[in-house]
Amino acid sequence: ILPVLRFPDERLRTVAKPVSNFTPELQEIIDNMVETMYAEHGIGLAATQVDVHEQIIVIDVSEDKSQLYVIINPEVISQEGETGIEEGCLSIPDCRGFVPRSEKIKIKALDRNGNPYEIDADELLAICIQHEMDHLKGKLFVDYLSPLKRQRIEQKMRKLTREEQKNR
């Protein structure tokens, strides 16, 4: 299980580079991300969140961990409509904020073996893909909130991190 970077850690603002080599190390990173996502009860995780700055996303919005997507070097083909929910983030624990998203999104990506494929998503999968693709661009859901709300969340996170360090 990998440690998840916590807002406002500046490393979360790093823009991820495309994956160029499909090595055993990459497979190890993917397996560790999947394990971390499930352990933290997330439905998605971007490599940026575990301080790996390559374009790797894992997603599973199913109830029974039966629909794992490994999404490498994603590109948006098309998107339409408008939707949004109160989003959360494993890097911003116990905080929620409404984020406007496209209702449907079609992306092109590579799977864990480097084979190209497409995902035509709607509902929670579409929202999750957009949330994770933002992470790869160093963007967080708090960036869509008002400065006041973002500042409150930043203070809450700093306090949480300080307390955790005291308890060590």
Give me the residues that bind ligand K2U (CB under 6 A), please: 42-46, 87-91, 127-128, 131-132, 135
Residue 142 touches Zn ion, criterion: CB under 5 A: no
**Of residues 132, 154, 163, 164, which has the active-site annotation?**
132
**Chosen from ligand K2U, Zn ion, none, partner binding at 128 (C-beta under 5 to 8 Å by type):** ligand K2U
CA distances from 4 to 53, 90, 92, 101, 104 (A): 13, 7, 10, 24, 28
Q: Residue 20, exposed/middle/buried by CB under 10 A (0-12, 13-18, 19+)?
A: exposed
95 is in an annotated binding site: no
| 132 given a catalytic annotation | yes
Binding mask 60-99 for Zn ion (x = CB under 5 A): -----------------------------x----------
Which pair of structure tokens corresponds to residue 55? 């374009």
Report the alpha-carbon distance of residue 30 to residue 27 in Å, rounded: 5
Report the alpha-carbon distance of residue 54 to residue 116 in Å, rounded: 17
Residues annotated as binding site for Fe cation?
89, 131, 135
Could you list the residues that contact Zn ion (CB under 5 A)?
A: 89
